[in-house]
Chain A
Amino acid sequence: MAGEGDLKLLGGDASQFVARVRMALNIKGVCSYEYIEQDLFNKSELLLESNPVHKKVPVLIHNGKPIAESLAIVQYVDEVWDTAGAPILPADPYQRAVARFWAAYTDDKLLRAYIGVNVAATEEERAEKVKDTVAAISQLEAVLADGGKAFFAGDSVGYLDIVVGCHLSWLEAFSKMYGVVLLDAAKSPIFAAWAARFGETEAVKGVVPETDTVAEYAKKRRAEALAAKRKN
């Protein structure tokens, strides 16, 4: 396909952010790339060379040139494969600003809240973070309600759908691990319906992290976080 060249994605099977990039590539119909799974607890030379600043996944390597930061990668994919598949960000500058605003909100408020559920040292702390997660989902429910469409982006998936959608399997994993309700279909029916709908789209085929994989990975991260807290 035009523009493809040599395309590699350094990924991690638990990573929401890697999933997000793969969803973007799916939307563009870009399937022939080399996916290289990374062991995030034993990082490869290639990863360390390609993302020396953060040493994290995802990293997209296009014709030998690496790009890091999932949102920068998603926008890159949208721009390079601009005539392929469907647009990820809308064309209108104001709509783009709205999508970017909620993307920033999601990766700040929603992400921090549910990660907090995982690394909470006490039951009280966990309960607080569960509350915060539910609040963030309520906020996103309101956005969907406002838009009144099937997806955040309209009639089909777009930027904000994949930004929010990549977190769904982590929410599911933590609900199971900690016996808490994060996505309450009674409290957030529109969001719950969107989540189900999103799970059925072409964009997520084959790229959603398994909840067991997430759970295993998250347990290691929790152990790390608690050890770090004890040191201080």
Chain B
Amino acid sequence: MAGGDDLKLLGAWPSPFVTRVKLALSFKGLSYEDIEEDLASKSELLLSSNPVHKKVPVLLHNGKPICQSMVIVQYIDEAFAGTGPSLLSSDPHERAIARFWAAYIDDKLVTSWVQSFRGKTEEDKSEGTKQMFAALDTLEGALRECSKGEGYFGGESVGLVDVSLGSLLSWLNATEVMSETKIFDPIKTPLLAAWAERFRELDGANAALPETDRMVEFAKKRQAQAAAAAAASDN
């Protein structure tokens, strides 16, 4: 890491958006101070660093805050252009395609997966699940196009889209365990299934991704809390 660069990450380990930033830092080989926030009792530092949204992740680089996971990842790539691999190609067309798919992942995949978990009715939830699988189907095609026969959306090595999708892996794996269905199905989406395994095995990914077991435990607790709240309000 370049001398005199102080990096702090305000995060919460279960957040896939925080994981996204950790992945980028990890792949770039950057060291940082990992500050775990209690989201039920947000620190002064978080509130003053992200007054607009009051959310994690926030990256502090020499005290200057950068917010929004996708903005942070591109910042890391640009501010540390000389360090580690590039997360974006130098070719403008490939960069545009990567930005397109990164936006798609947040817009379609994350939204539908959240709906499958937090939908107000069973109907809502199953609609979310349907849309999630539709999005994964589309991403299978994206991977085929972007990888050009190599292993990652970024081609031979990981890029912005790999980091964007990879940040969801622990949650998606936890969902697989809890719902007893395959999300990365080697029959329906063979390229994605292979990609998921390959990605998880990378040193950079290992360092940043929460353990599936820990995520399952967390998700179960969350579900129990939501059920209790719903039961309490059904009076």
- Mark A residues whose CB is within 8 Å of B: 53, 62, 65, 67-69, 71-73, 75-76, 79-80, 93-94, 96-97, 100-101, 104-105, 139
Q: B229 at interface (Cβ–Cβ under 8 A)?
A: no
When A53-B138, A104-B70, A105-B52 are in contact, do A97 and B75 touch as well, CB less than 8 Å?
yes
The listed residue (B64, B67, B68, B104) touching A53 by CB distance below 8 A is B104
By Cβ-Cβ distance, the 3 closest A-B pairs, closest first, are A72-B99, A93-B78, A79-B92
Give Cα A147–Cα B68 distance, bound, in whole angstroms. Answer: 20
Task: Verify if B1 is at the interface (C-beta below 8 Å from A).
Answer: no
Give bound CA distance, A67 to B99, whole Å.
10
A67-B93, A76-B95 as given contacts; A93 in contact with B100, CB under 8 Å: no
Instruction: Determine if B114 is an interface residue (Cβ-Cβ < 8 Å).
Output: no
Name B's A-contacting residues (CB within 8 A).
Answer: 52, 61, 64, 66-68, 70-72, 74-75, 78-79, 92-93, 95-97, 99-100, 103-104, 138
Q: Are B93 and A62 in contact (CB under 8 A)?
A: yes
| Selected contact of B52 from candidates A80, A94, A139, CB within 8 Å | A139
Contact check, B99 vs A100: say whether CB atoms are below 8 A apart.
no
Q: Shortest CB–CB separation between residue A111 and chain B, in angstroms? A: 13
- Contact call A96/B75, Cβ cutoff below 8 A: yes
Question: Binding site of B, secondary structure by majority: helix, strand, loop or mixed?
Answer: helix
Known: A72-B103, A94-B64. A100 touches B96 (CB 8 A): no
Query: Is the Cβ of B66 less than 8 Å from the Cβ of A94?
Result: yes
Which residues of B lie under 8 Å from residue A105 when comparing CB positions?
A: 52
Residues B66 and A68 in contact, CB atoms below 8 Å apart? no
Query: A71–B99 contact, CB under 8 A?
Result: yes
Assess A94 versus B96: contact at CB under 8 Å? Given A53-B138, A139-B52.
no
Q: Is the CB of B74 within 8 A of A97?
A: yes
Q: Hey, which chain B residues are within 8 Å of A104, CB to CB? A: 68, 70-71
A-B residue pairs in contact (CB < 8 Å), sample of 19 = A53-B138, A69-B100, A69-B103, A71-B103, A72-B97, A72-B103, A75-B96, A75-B99, A79-B95, A93-B78, A93-B79, A94-B75, A97-B66, A97-B71, A101-B66, A101-B67, A101-B68, A101-B71, A139-B52
